[in-house]
Every structure is written in C-alpha cells, then in structure tokens.
C-alpha cells in the first residue's frame, strides 16, 4: 500500500515484477539500475542463490521526481519465478500498488507463462487484491529470440483484458523504461482516483 510521509514529503509506492522463472524480471531491474542517474536510485539488492537465481526478491528504490512538492519514490521488487518459491512470492505481494507481468516470449515457455499468471491471480486474491482492479501492465520479453511466439497468440493467452502491453528485450533495454513508465503512471493515477490511503 502506498505510504505518504508528510514530514519528509514523500509518496512511496510498491511495484512488483512477476512472471515465470528466467523470464527477465531481474534483468529489467538491472537495466533500470544501470541507466538511472545516481541521485535517482538507491542500492539494488538481490537475494539470490549461488547460481544467481532469485531466492527471495530483488529490490530497487527509484525516485521519479516531485509532484506538488512531494518526492515520488517507487520501490521495485521482483519475485522468485521458480514454482518452488510460492510462499516467498505471496509475501512480496503484500502492500503492492502495481504489477508488471514479465512474460517469456519463447514458445516453449508459454505454459510456464500461463501457470505464473494463474499463480499471480490466486496469490493476489489471497492477499485481498483483484488483478482486474489493480494497476497492471504486461511485458512480452525476449522478443528478439528466433523462437518467440507470435504476439497475437501471447496476447490472447496472457492479456485477455487488454491492459497496457509492451514488447521488450530486457538485456538490451528495449521496452524496459516504457513498461516502467506505464505502470508508474497507472499507479499514480489510481492513487489519485482513490484519493489517498
């Protein structure tokens, strides 16, 4: 849940990057970290296994600028994508303000995408959220790979409600900031609509 600190004049929001294992969630954050000026970012934390797979979460604090004298800060989290770590994913969704679903475009990962999306819906419901009412965007990552599934097919499977969607290649940064901007904007718009919390 967003937090407004009137003494330090900050609006803090929590974004979660969700999706199947090895889909590029951590790579999104790494690219954002690499391309953001030092004043606008904090330290990036990755709680990973010895083989660099996300164990608990990655975390990146970003400052986007000021609105009406309040600094807007976004806390970006990834979840561990591997099915095994479902308990950790549930914890990270607590207090979420917006979700990015990072889908892996490789045709052989389509089942994993669908499973992860169903898992996202179920875990959100457990936390009292509804994906259809939450600021939410979809990123089709790894569009550069030769075995990428056709976009129409991915759209019909993963984005039936037609939320904002972006084609991406997180390793080179294509679509990464577009995705971030879209979810950050959606979160701020929703906060304004809700009139604060």
Partner 1 sequence: MFPEEQRQITNICQKLHRDSNAKAVLLIGRDGQPIAEAGEVSEIDVTSLSTLTAGNVAATGGISKILREKDFTSQFHEGEKTHVHITLVAGRAILVVLFDERSSLGLVRLRVRKATDEMGRIFEDVKRKAALQTGPSILNEITDADIDKLFND
Q: What gap in Å lies between CA 175 and CA 169, rounded to an integer?
A: 7
Q: What gap in Å lies between CA 98 and CA 182, rounded to an integer?
A: 10
Question: Per-residue b/e over 70-79, b at no fewer than 16 CB within 10 Å?
Answer: eebbbbbbbb
If one asks whether residue 14 binds partner 1 (CB under 8 A), the answer comes out as yes
Among 57, 136, 140, 166, contact with partner 1 (rule: CB under 8 A): 57
- Residue 45 CB, nearest approach to partner 1 (Å): 6
> 44: helix, coil or strand?
coil
Q: What gap in Å lies between CA 125 and CA 152, rounded to an integer?
A: 28
CB neighbours of residue 181 within 10 Å:
14
Q: Where does this chain touch partner 1 (CB under 8 A) — which range of 24-32, 57-65, 103-111, 163-171?
A: 57-65
- Contacts with partner 1, 30-49, as mask; x by CB under 8 A: ------------xx-x-x--
- Please answer whether residues 97 and 135 qualify as being in contact, where contact means their C-beta atoms are separated by less than 8 angstroms: yes
Q: 99 or 158, CB closer to partner 1? A: 99
If one asks whether residue 122 binds partner 1 (CB under 8 A), the answer comes out as no
Q: How would you classify the pairing of strands 136-141 and 70-78?
A: unpaired
- Contacts with partner 1, 78-97, as mask; x by CB under 8 A: ---------xx-xxx-xx--
The burial of 156, by beta-carbon neighbours within 10 Å (0-12 exposed, 13-18 middle, 19 or more buried), is given as exposed
Q: Where does this chain touch partner 1 (CB under 8 A) — which range of 8-16, 98-106, 107-115, 142-150?
A: 8-16
Q: 148 or 187, CB closer to partner 1? A: 187
Contacts with partner 1 by CB under 8 A lie at 1, 3-7, 11-12, 14, 42-43, 45, 47, 56-57, 59, 61, 64-65, 67-68, 70, 72, 75, 87-88, 90-92, 94-95, 181, 184-185, 188-189, 191-192, 194-196
């Amino acid at each position: 849940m967003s937090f407004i600190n009137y003494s330090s004049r900050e609006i803090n929001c929590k974004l979660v990057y969700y999706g199947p294992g090895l889909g590029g969630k951590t790579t999104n954050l790494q690219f954002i970290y690499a391309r953001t000026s030092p004043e606008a970012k904090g330290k990036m934390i990755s709680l990973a296994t010895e083989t660099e797979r996300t164990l608990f979460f990655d975390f990146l604090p970003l400052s986007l600028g000021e609105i009406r004298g309040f600094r807007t800060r976004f806390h970006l989290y990834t979840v561990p994508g591997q099915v095994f770590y479902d308990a950790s994913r549930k914890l990270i969704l607590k207090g979420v303000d917006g979700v990015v679903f990072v889908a892996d475009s490789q045709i052989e990962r389509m089942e994993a995408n669908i499973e992860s999306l169903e898992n996202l819906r179920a875990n959100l419901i457990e936390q009292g959220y509804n994906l259809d009412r939450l600021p939410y965007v979809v990123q089709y990552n790894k569009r550069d790979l030769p075995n990428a599934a056709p976009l129409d097919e991915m759209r019909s499977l993963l984005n039936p409600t037609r939320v904002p969607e972006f084609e991406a290649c997180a390793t080179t940064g294509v679509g990464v900031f577009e995705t971030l901007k879209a979810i950050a904007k959606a979160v701020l718009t929703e906060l304004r609509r809700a009139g604060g919390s």
